[in-house]
Amino acid sequence: MMERYDIALIDLSKSLKLDPNNTFTLRNHEIDQNDEWTLYERAESFFMLKKYNKALADLTKSLEIVPNNASALSPRSLIYVKMNKIDEALSDLTQSLRIYQFDTSTLKI
């Protein structure tokens, strides 16, 4: 499967211009700011597009909703590494491993 995150975000924007009240598009584009997984998914798209600041913002918001979510801490630590913020990355990795000590994906970072 070809992962075209850039095209997906553009298509969602175009769809909103055509039909601003389309609930499906709104749900996928505007993002439910209270849904940690929706924020996580958008952060993943931003990460793949190398838009690290936007990905970081979404993961941070996700962690405000569910503070001890190892699934968000681990990728946020990777973003911190990409941004050369090593202390923040280590803090997130440490916290993630305290929550879920056998997470092999976190151990690989």
> Which CATH number is 90's domain given?
1.25.40.10
What pLDDT shows up at residue 81? 96
Q: How far apart are CA 83 and CA 85, in angstroms?
A: 5
Classify 56 as helix, strand or coil: helix
Q: Please report how many Cα atoms fall inside a 13 Å half-sphere around the Cα of residue 25, on the Cβ side.
A: 15
Residue 39 lies in a domain: yes
Residue 62's domain comprises 31-108
Tell me which residues of the chain have a pLDDT lower than 70: 1-33, 101-109
Write the pLDDT tens digit of every residue in 86-104.
999 999 999 988 887 665 5
Residue 23 lies in a domain: no
Please give the tally of structural domains in the chain.
1
Residue 7 lies in a domain: no
What pLDDT shows up at residue 97? 86
What pLDDT shows up at residue 6? 63
